[in-house]
Amino acid sequence: MAAAELAHLAVSGAEIAVRVTPKASRNLVVQAEDGLRVYVTVVPEDGKANAAVAKLLAKALGVAKGRLVLIRGATSRDKVFRLD
């Protein structure tokens, strides 16, 4: 997705649920019928995948990555971010 394609979701205080696929062939954010799916190329170790997801999601939302806070799912594929 191009930058800010999900700008309509960028509401302060909103909780954004995503399904993450690490070790994908490319970095991508897809809005599917069942929610947002984020594909990242990095491996899920030492928080690298979480950082990549936050960066990619922030770009898609058109906000600074510092505004996204991971509130659930640090070690799970299903994650919830809050936009502060």
Which pLDDT tens digit goes with each residue over 50-84? 999 999 999 999 999 999 999 999 999 999 999 99
In angstroms, the CA 49 to CA 57 distance is 12
Full set of structural domains in the chain with CATH: 14-83 (3.30.1200.10)
Percentage of residues in the chain having pLDDT higher than 90: 79
In angstroms, the CA 44 to CA 39 distance is 12
Among 27, 82, 34, smallest CA distance to 60 is for: 27
Say which residue, 10 or 20, is predicted with more confidence: 20
Return the pLDDT at 30: 93
Return the pLDDT at 4: 56
Q: What is the pTM of this model?
A: 0.89
